[in-house]
Copies of this chain bind each other. A is one copy, B any other.
Amino acid sequence: MEKELRAVLSIRLFTEQKCFGPGIAELLHRVDEHHSLRAAAQSMEMAYSKAWAITKGAEKGLGVELLVSTAGGKGGGGATLTEEARQILAAYDRYCEKLRAYGDKLLKEEFAFYKQMKKNDPSD
């Protein structure tokens, strides 16, 4: 019976306010997929009002427009990502991936003693 130790990183970007994290990142990915903010929110079981709020917050914090939206018309309208949104999203994804990769490697180094500690524990 092995208790595997793992690290979970939550990675958020701030300017003068919280502006980008895993929530908005996944949301933007899904907007790109569904071409609609409402459909994106629904697909991840997030209330539309929250989806709208976090995109507004991110746009305000970053000082960058993230969505191009149209209301009415074919299909009722929709939303797509700006070029800036794509760049930021891609950078965030790379940043998270590299940081987690390093975190995994580092965990093995710094907590090598923990396995041993548990092995010598008679209560386990």
How many copies of this chain sit in the oligomeric assembly? 2
Q: Is the CB of B10 within 8 A of A14?
A: no
Assembled-state Cα–Cα distance A87/B10 (Å): 24
Q: In the complex, which range does the number of interface residues on chain A fall in?
A: 35 or more
Max chain B C-beta neighbours (<10 A), residue from A14, A84, A110, A113: A110
Check if A16 is an interface residue, CB within 8 A of chain B: yes
Q: Is the CB of A63 within 8 A of B106?
A: no
Which residues between 15 and 68 of chain A lie within 8 Å of chain B, taking CB atoms? 15-16, 63-64
Residues on the B chain within 8 Å of A9, using CB: 9-12, 99
- In order of increasing CB-CB distance, the 10 nearest A-B pairs are A10-B10, A3-B15, A95-B110, A91-B110, A8-B12, A6-B14, A102-B102, A91-B111, A63-B124, A94-B110
